[in-house]
Amino acid sequence: MPQIRGANVLIAGATSTIARHTAARLAERGARLHLVARGEAEAGRIGQDLQVRRGAEVSWGSFEATDYKGHERLLDRATEAMGGLDGLLVAVGMLGDQMRAEAEPGHLRDVIEINYGAPASLITAAANRFEEQGDGWIAALSSVAGDRGRPSNYAYGSAKAGLTAFLEGLRGRLHESGVHVLTAKPGPTDTKMTFGMDDPPPLMAEPERVAGQVAQAIEEEKDVCYAPPIWRYIMAAIRLIPASVFKKLDL
């Protein structure tokens, strides 16, 4: 079972709302943290808050998800800052704009790259290191949106579906190596990503609750975590809708 107390954990995309709250849950459990994000100053503010409020051991730095050549250097810096590397939480993502993605292939490419291509690259680099050392864990934020393609967000959903499939395959590859892989699938959550929506989705969850469930799933070595858990049953029902019917639904 993954040990969080005393573990050295890298959090990529640390300024996302869910990542920030998950960092707090991991710090409460005794993890050392290295926070990285495009906005290094904001990552530093989050880190300083964790130091003051939680007494956590935290370091931080900058991170550009699409700097693929920099992923190995990022792992090196995190290892040096913490004295080792035992866990990786990837919270990199962007919702994007579905209508813009339909009209602008460049925006569609950005949505796919940020939600799938870049996370998969970083995860692969970490997985190889963990496999070599014979332990470690990886947790990544996918989404219930990846369980079925809906007209209203299939650009984002398809990228998350790709990430989900990637993590499932990686889990199979590593299952005998001592490395655990968690796919976290939050439902709609009250975050910066959903702020200001004209038509907010139903069952909007509080990020604190989602973060607690992700941290618990890491500890319990779950393969998949729907957060909140009710989305497991909602999405199971949605997957059972025949394609001939589903394509006619306004979703």
Query: pLDDT by residue (tens digit) across 147-169?
Result: 999 999 999 999 999 999 999 99
Q: What are the respective helix, strand and coil percentages of the chain, to the nearest 5?
A: 50, 15, 35
- The structural domains of the chain, with segments of one domain joined by +, span 8-246
Each residue's pLDDT tens digit, 106-139: 999 999 999 999 999 999 999 999 999 999 999 9
Using CA atoms, how far residue 214 sits from 70, 87, 217, in Å, is: 27, 13, 5
Q: Write down the mean pLDDT value for the chain.
A: 94
pLDDT of amino acid 250:
86
Confidence (pLDDT) at 205 = 79
Q: What is the pLDDT of residue 196?
A: 47
Nearest one of 200, 191, 202, 187 to 233, comparing CA atoms = 187
Residue 2 has pLDDT above 70, yes or no: no
Q: Which pLDDT band, with edges at 50, 70 and 90, does 87 fall under?
A: very high
With H, G, I as helix, E, B as strand and everything else as coil, classify residue 147. Answer: coil
Does the pLDDT value for residue 234 go beyond 60?
yes
Asked if residue 218 has pLDDT above 70, the reply is yes
Q: What is the pLDDT of residue 84?
A: 97
pLDDT of residue 200: 57
176-216 residue pLDDT tens: 999 999 999 999 887 655 544 455 566 677 999 999 999 99
Neighbours of 232 (CB within 10 A): 16
User: What is the set of active-site residues?
Assistant: 156
Q: Answer whether residue 44 shows pLDDT above 80.
A: yes
Provide the pLDDT for residue 198.
Answer: 56
How confident is the model at residue 190, as a pLDDT?
Answer: 75
Please state, in angstroms and rounded to a whole number, the distance separating the CA atoms of residues 140 and 40.
20
Chosen CATH of 8-246 out of 3.40.50.720, 3.30.360.10, 3.40.50.170, 3.30.1490.20: 3.40.50.720
- pLDDT at res. 195: 43
